[in-house]
Amino acid sequence: MTTEKLTESIELEDYCLLKGYSIVYNRWVDAVVLSRDGMDYKFKDEVSDENVLEAVKEIPMDDPLADMLEEVEYPEDEIQ
């Protein structure tokens, strides 16, 4: 599975809507970025696309992605 397919996943999109995340691909950090409450997060290096989809496939009540995310550190030269 490619990152493009992950960002286009209906299951992940539904999950993000229900949990209050917005999701985009950010070229500055070369990663899928989930944003919520003014904070940006990306998936930890050890997390595969398959892990993400498995965690959200049945729209769980809790937030299983929280343990898979880390705060994004943007390059200093990026304009925000």
Element (H, E) at 15: helix 10-19
User: What's the confidence (pLDDT) of residue 46?
Assistant: 92
Q: Where are the domains of the chain?
A: 3-71
Contact 70, 40 (CB under 8 A): no
Tens-digit pLDDT profile for residues 15-45 = 898 889 998 888 888 888 999 999 999 999 9
Q: What is the DSSP letter of 69?
A: E
Global pTM?
A: 0.71
Determine which helix (DSSP H) or strand (DSSP E) holds 42, and give its type and residue range. strand 39-43
The SS3 call for residue 67 is: helix
User: At CA 65, angle to CA 60 and CA 67, rounded to 5?
Assistant: 125
